[in-house]
Each structure stands twice: as structure tokens, then as C-alpha cells.
Amino acid sequence: MYVMDGLLGEIPLNSFECAWFDFLNLTDLMKLDKAINNHAMRKQFLEQISCMTLCHSLSCGVGEEMIDWLVLRNVHVQNIRFKINVPGESLAIFKRVSRKVRTMSLANSVHLTDKLFTGLVEETPMLTSCNLTDCCDLSDEAIMALARSCTSLAKLNLFGCCHLSCASVHALAEYCPGLKELCLAYNFTVNDAAVKALASRCPLLKCLDITLCSSITDEAIEELSSCCPLLTSLNVTHCTNISDASLRVLAINCPELRELVLSFCRGVTNVGMSFLASHCPQMQVLELHSCRQVSAEGVRVVAERMPALQRIDLSYFVTIEDATVVCLAHSCRDLREISLFNCNKITDSAVVALAEHCPHLHTLRLNYCTLLTDTAVVALATRCACLRALDLSDCRNLSDVSVRALAQHCRGTLQHVSLALNPRISNEAVLQLTQICTTINDLQH
């Protein structure tokens, strides 16, 4: 059976799980519903709709007629995603189909108010996942309402919600004991007491991001590690009071730890690296951007004892030399991403070793590695079949030879490349690269 009406003209009605289904809007679905005269087929159709994501934006709004249709067909939407871009925009129509909503994204809703949000979450008691990234007008009132109304909440992103206080974290700890993933990045007021309350009442916590919660100390991390043994991911970027003591308790108490971001934690040293290397051989992600007290020796210990590493950030390790990178290449052969930003002592030998021994490598930051030449880039282009992103800004010895190698060998994979501040690379070579590598969607020169 086919429906001959616009987008629906070539759609078989007996295959509602085909890829095309998610590209239809509500108007299309209403038309499709009217064309179905088979009861079993309609039941399958409506079940599939309930699993889709209901989106709402200024360019493609959801109106009363559409909501009336969902109510008539008794469809309870499980996933919704929209932005509040206009002051006073109402969410009232969504309440009629929100009782079974499980996931909700309101990311970047710059005009989402406490009143609007509270009214919505009171109608979504089954909510388990909520994304409030950069909803900067929300206050503790909104998050406390969320915690009280949605006690099954397992995943919450509060990145950039900078007007919140510790009261929000305490409310989440009290009412949402099943919380597994929480992002509090850029919530500057979050302190040790809040993290300790969270740890003690949310033992299932697996992922925590407290980037720029700068008052956090080792005391909070000790409580977190002892109460949350299932922890797999922790981001403490710019938590400058964190020291090796935190790494010791994490290494001992959290055997599932796979991702640790320590960027700008300047109290971390080689001693902390030894703790991690001894107890966390399964570590996959380690970011050490600007950890100035970690030396090449600490990185070598990590490389030798963490063979499962897939991503490492060594940006601003200005003393690191080829031998350390070569050690990484030989020991961590599943490496996918590496940042050597401003590691200005490394040469072609280091990059060639990565190309030869890390076949899955797809993302490299080599900007300001001023000793590199075309030899390094040719090795990456010819040996890294998955290469997607490459930053070569201010590698001033590079020439058109590098660009031609990328064009010849990376035409089906390369998406992001920066060649800025390289005076020996011509505009003609860059133009040829873009013409051949049609997958590139971000190029700087």
C-alpha cells in the first residue's frame, strides 16, 4: 500500500521501521494515519510514533491540531526536544501528551523560565533523562521541582546553568537516588558538601562532570570514590585543588573507571600518574592538558601500563620529546585521538611512529608543533585510513606536499582540517583539497 501525497508518495505502509520514518513531520504522519484502513497496521504505526522524538522549533512548530490528533489516537510521546527562543512561549500544549515522556531536551532554550519548566516537569513523572545545557535563566526552583517530580531521573545535563547553587545538588541527592549521569560543569558554586551529599545518596553514579567547580577538594573526591564504586567517567577540569590524593583513592576504589579528565589540575604529579597506571590498566581516556607537574616520565608510566588508551590529551607538555610519544605509539595501539598542541619539541619521528603503530587514529591536534615537516603529514595520510580531523595550524615547515598527500589518501574520511598560519601552503593546493575531499565541512587556512 502506498499513499500518493507529497513526501508520502513512495512510502510502503507495511514497513514502519524503515529509515525514512524519522524524517516525516507530524503533518505527514497525520496524512499517513488517514490513509491507513488496516487495524493491525495502524496499531504498529502508532506504536512507532510513541518511540519517535517530538521536536518543536520556531521554523517547524507543533500546533494544537497536531496535539489533538496525538490525543485522539492515544499516543503518549516518550521523547521530546525543543527550544524556548521567544519570551513567553507556552509549553501548555505539550502537557497533554507528556505523561509518558522519558527523555527531554531543552538545550539552549535561552528564554526557558522556572515557571515554564516547573509546569512541564510536573506532568512528566516518568522522565529519566533531561538535557538543560545552557538554559541559563533557570534557578534552584526549577531543579528542585525536577527532582521532586521526576524521582526516576537517571541522566541530567546542567552544563552552563550558572545560576544554580548547591541547593539544586542537594535536592537531586535527596529525591533522585537512581541518578547515574550528572553534568554540573560551569556551576561555580558547587562545593565539597554538595558532592559528598550526591555521592552518599546516589551510589549508582557512573558519570560526573564538575568542570570549573573550583572549590572542590580531595575531600569530595574521596567520598565520591568510596560511595560510587561504579564510577566510569569523571571530569574535574580546572578543579585546581585536586591533588594526587584524589587519584590514589579513585584508582583504588573505582575499578570501572574508564575516563578521567584532569586538564588544568596543577596539583597532579607523576606520583598520581603512577597510582592510576598501577590500578587502572583499562583506562580509555586520559586528558592532562596543562598538568604542569606531570613530566615525560609520568606519561611514559601511563603509556606502558594503560594499553587500552583510546584518547589522550598532552596539550602544553612543552618538555615532552619524541621518545615519550614513540612509547605511547608502541604501547597504546588502539589510540584514536591524541592532542600534542604546543608540544613544540616533537619531530617527524614521533608522528611517524603514531601513524605506523596506531591504525585506528582519526583525530590529531599538532598545532604549534613547529618542528614537523611534510614527512609527518605524508605518513599520517598514507597510513591512517580513518583520519577525520587534523589540526596543523602554525606548523610552518609544511608545504603543498602535505596538502596533496591529504587530498590523495583521505578523500573519503577527512572532515575537519586546519592549515592556518602555514605560509608555504598555497591557496591553490587548499582549493584542490576541498574539491577532492568532498567530506570536508570545516577547513581553516
What is the 3-state secondary structure of 139-161? CHHHHHHHHHHCCCCCEEECCCC
Grid coordinates of 409 = 589518501
Q: Which of 294, 354, 363 is nearest to 327 (CA)?
A: 354
Please name which of 63, 78, 1 lies closest in space to residue 34, comparing C-alpha atoms.
Answer: 1
Residue 386 has pLDDT above 80, yes or no: yes
Average pLDDT of the segment spanning 288-312: 97
pLDDT of residue 333: 97
Please tell me the least confidently modeled range out of 89-93, 131-135, 302-306, 330-334.
Answer: 89-93
Q: Is residue 237 a contact partner of residue 208, using CB atoms and an 8 Å limit?
A: no
Predicted pLDDT at 13: 45
pLDDT in tens, 312-326: 999 999 999 999 999
Is the pLDDT higher at 112 or at 173? 173
Q: Residue 97 pLDDT > 70, yes or no?
A: no
For residue 408, CA distances in Å to 72, 381, 382, 414, 422 come to 57, 8, 9, 11, 20
Q: In angstroms, how far apart are the furthest CA atoms of the chain?
A: 72
The secondary structure of residue 362, as a DSSP letter, is: -
Query: If you average pLDDT over every residue of the chain, what do you get?
Result: 89
CA 229 – CA 204 distance, rounded (Å): 8
Alpha carbon 128 to chain centroid, angstroms: 18
Separation of alpha carbons 366 and 406, rounded Å: 15
Percent of the chain with pLDDT over 90: 73
Higher pLDDT, 49 or 435: 435
Residue 183: per-residue pLDDT: 98
* pLDDT computed for residue 331 by the predictor: 97
Band (pLDDT 50/70/90 cuts) for residue 28 is confident
Q: Of residues 6 and 405, which shows the higher confidence score? A: 405
Per-residue pLDDT reduced to its tens digit, 144-196: 999 999 999 999 999 999 999 999 999 999 999 999 999 999 999 999 999 99
At 35-88, the pLDDT tens digits run 787 777 777 777 777 666 666 544 445 566 766 777 667 666 677 777 766 555
Q: What is residue 208's predicted lDDT score, i.e. its pLDDT?
A: 98
- pLDDT score for 46: 74
The pLDDT of residue 48: 73
Non-local CB neighbours of 152 within 8 Å, separated by 6+ positions: 125, 126, 127, 128, 176, 178
